[in-house]
């Protein structure tokens, strides 16, 4: 089921999401709906607060691309937590399904290690770099009520783009992946 994506100005996007205490059918249905909603919106990630649910759950899916490590995989994570991050960072443009029509430049650690529960409630540890690491960090920020516009490299590093193309991973962006 495609859920309504909350847009900037909706207070739910600024609230902190709660830890999921039990991985049950409701949480799995939420994740499945989020995957469907993300795909319908041509996004590469979605966090539960973006569909109005204040629970710590997110999905990430970047179309398979040989230049992007970890692409072509659908990540559905519960209670994700960054346990390690590289000192090395990189800057790139990001968009957000909750901020249609805008893209901004954000600096983030290049590599991260994430601990989480998977859709079945199993404990997993995920090493990610480049784009997958960036999108995971963007979605984990949503769980804290943080948006990419809070983290711009400079106040003017934000641009208007055609709606629906905010999160598109262009060839140019893929080539920029370290």
Nearer to Zn ion, 111 or 142 (CB): 142
Specify whether the CB–CB gap between 97 and 121 falls below 8 A.
no
Nearer to Zn ion, 23 or 106 (CB): 106
Kindly determine how many residues on this chain lie close enough to bind Zn ion according to the rule CB under 5 A: 1
Return d(Cα 121, Cα 19) in angstroms, integer: 13
**Shortest Å, Cβ 138 to Zn ion:** 6
| Both tokens assigned to 93 | 């443009």
- Please list the residues that pair with 46 across neighbouring strands: 59
Return d(Cα 3, Cα 123) in angstroms, integer: 27
Return d(Cα 105, Cα 60) in angstroms, integer: 19
Question: Does the active-site annotation cover 139?
Answer: yes
Specify whether the CB–CB gap between 106 and 148 falls below 8 A.
yes
135: contact with Zn ion by CB under 5 A: no
Site for Zn ion in 60-119 (CB under 5 A): 96
- Name the residue number minimizing CB distance to Zn ion: 96
For residue 66, the SS3 value is coil
Q: Spot the catalytic one: 61, 94, 129, 139.
A: 139
44: contact with Zn ion by CB under 5 A: no
**Shortest Å, Cβ 6 to Zn ion:** 10
Task: Point out which residues bind Zn ion (CB under 5 A).
Answer: 96
Where in the sequence numbering do the catalytic residues fall?
139
């Amino acid at each position: 089921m495609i859920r309504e994506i909350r847009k900037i100005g909706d207070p739910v996007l600024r609230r902190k999401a709660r830890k999921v205490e039990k991985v049950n059918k409701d949480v799995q249905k939420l994740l499945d709906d989020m995957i469907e909603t993300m795909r319908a919106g041509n996004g590469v990630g979605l966090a539960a607060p973006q569909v109005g649910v204040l629970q710590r759950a997110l999905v990430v899916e970047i179309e398979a691309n040989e230049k992007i490590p970890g692409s072509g995989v659908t990540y559905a994570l519960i209670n994700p937590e960054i346990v390690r991050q590289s000192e090395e960072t990189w800057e790139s443009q990001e968009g957000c399904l909750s901020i249609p029509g805008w893209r901004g430049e954000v600096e983030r650690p290049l590599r991260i290690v994430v601990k989480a529960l998977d859709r079945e409630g199993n404990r997993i540890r995920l090493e990610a770099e480049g784009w997958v690491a960036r999108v995971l960090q963007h979605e984990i920020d949503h769980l804290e009520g943080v948006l990419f516009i809070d983290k711009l490299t400079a106040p003017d590093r934000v641009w208007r783009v055609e709606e629906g193309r905010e999160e598109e991973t262009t060839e140019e962006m893929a080539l920029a992946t370290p």
